[in-house]
């Protein structure tokens, strides 16, 4: 009798066996590690820059609990909330942009374009400019940040339901998002024109997008909200990979693509709302970060982890430039707009050339 040896065929990259994904991309892992190291380096440099400069070695020692008392007070009590807010908001916007661009299959799809950030801003401006009555009651009860989060969530759900026609088409989703965003911007402009000048100044500071005067309470809410949403995204993301090949292929593999798409889009809306509630509508981070990460990682679709790291690096770096490089201190939203505007033109030109 001849012994027969069972030979198991090797699995090609990307093939799933059960619930385990045998998908290994050394380049993507290496790029993610380098982005994480760069984000941590810029994070430490941003903490050390200020009226009382602290060197990079002293910052690292303080973060490890071995710094001097003066350095610990300056870093942990004065500068850490702002830097940590930039890190959390950048990650939230980067992942949110990666999800929306992957679902819409369009590089122009982002929370900015889909009207999520403008909806949150409209609610915040309404509560700031309309004094007394229900507006004051809402502000005193849930706070301005929570109200902005609810506004972003409501706008995102409105865009999703208006774009739903037995499924989600990326082109229709973007068109409806642009329309809703235009309506929200018109409402915001009307509120600013008809409001008191003192309320307008406060609302305008919110609309620019800034990390100034962040408190530990605001950072903790954004941090925990982002962590919970990232866990949900990570739990659902492995079912999202087959959807890149189309809904028919995903359905053939047993993926409930409608439910997966709805959960991921809801997470993207909530991530954008958390970011806006913590720092205001910082423009173009959610648009630029996934596209940069996709090119660095050499992936056909925006990688979520790398997109979040690029978003954090972009936002912290922009805040560092706004505070330490420019001759006049500016809100971080001005710097990200200066970076994202030309990049948006590049994407449009590239799409037209195709």
pLDDT digits (tens, 9 = 90+) for 308-353: 999 999 999 999 998 888 877 788 888 888 888 888 788 777 766 7
Q: Is residue 24 part of a domain?
A: no
Q: Is residue 5 part of a domain?
A: no
Q: Is residue 264 part of a domain?
A: yes
SS3 content of the chain, % helix, strand, coil (to 5): 75, 0, 25
> CB–CB of 247/170 below 8 Å?
no
Q: Is residue 144 part of a domain?
A: yes
C-alpha 124/C-alpha 131 separation (Å) is 12
Question: What pLDDT is stored for residue 18 in this prediction?
Answer: 39
Residue 16 has pLDDT above 50, yes or no: no
Q: Is residue 175 part of a domain?
A: yes
Q: Is residue 28 part of a domain?
A: no
**Mean pLDDT calculated for residue range 233-259:** 68
Q: Is residue 321 part of a domain?
A: yes
266: domain CATH number is 1.10.3470.10
**Mean pLDDT calculated for residue range 158-172:** 76
Domain count of the chain?
1
Q: Is residue 14 part of a domain?
A: no
Question: What pLDDT is stored for residue 298 in this prediction?
Answer: 86
Would the CA dihedral through 137, 125, 86, 91 be positive or negative?
positive
Tell me the residue range of the domain where 266 lies. Answer: 41-353
| Beta-strand relationship, 16-17 and 20-21 | antiparallel
Residue 90 has pLDDT above 90, yes or no: yes
Polymer length in residues for the chain: 354
Q: What is the band of 98 on the pLDDT scale with cuts at 50, 70, 90?
A: very high
């Amino acid at each position: 009798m001849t012994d027969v040896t069972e030979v198991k065929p090797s699995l090609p990259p990307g093939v799933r066996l059960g619930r385990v994904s045998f998908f290994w991309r050394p380049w993507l892992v290496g790029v993610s590690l380098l982005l994480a190291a760069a984000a941590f380096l810029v994070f430490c440099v941003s903490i050390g820059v200020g009226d009382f400069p602290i060197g990079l070695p002293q910052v690292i020692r303080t973060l490890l609990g071995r710094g001097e008392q003066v350095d610990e007070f300056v870093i942990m009590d004065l500068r850490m909330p702002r830097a940590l807010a930039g890190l959390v908001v950048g990650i939230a916007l980067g992942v949110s942009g990666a999800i929306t661009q992957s679902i819409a299959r369009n590089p122009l799809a982002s929370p900015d374009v889909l009207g999520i950030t403008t909806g949150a801003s409209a609610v915040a401006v309404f509560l700031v400019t309309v004094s007394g009555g229900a507006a004051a009651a809402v502000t005193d009860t849930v706070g301005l940040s929570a109200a902005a989060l609810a506004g972003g969530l409501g706008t995102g759900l409105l865009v999703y339901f208006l774009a739903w026609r037995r499924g989600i088409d990326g082109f229709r989703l973007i068109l409806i998002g642009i329309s809703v965003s235009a309506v929200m911007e018109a409402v915001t402009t009307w509120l600013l024109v008809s409001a008191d000048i003192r309320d307008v100044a406060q609302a305008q500071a919110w609309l620019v997008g800034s990390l100034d005067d962040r408190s530990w309470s605001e950072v903790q809410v954004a941090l925990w909200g982002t962590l919970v949403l990232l866990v949900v995204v990570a739990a659902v993301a492995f079912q999202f990979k087959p959807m890149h090949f189309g809904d028919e292929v995903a359905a053939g593999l047993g993926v409930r693509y409608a439910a997966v798409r709805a959960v991921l889009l809801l997470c993207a809306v909530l991530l954008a709302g958390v970011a806006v509630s913590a720092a205001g509508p910082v423009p173009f981070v959610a648009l630029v970060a996934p596209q940069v990460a996709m090119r660095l990682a050499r992936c056909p679709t925006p990688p979520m982890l790398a997109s979040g790291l690029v978003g954090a690096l972009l936002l912290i770096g922009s805040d560092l430039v706004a505070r330490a490089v420019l001759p006049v201190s500016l809100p971080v939203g001005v710097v990200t707009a200066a970076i994202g505007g030309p990049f948006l033109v590049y994407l449009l030109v590239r799409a037209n050339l195709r």
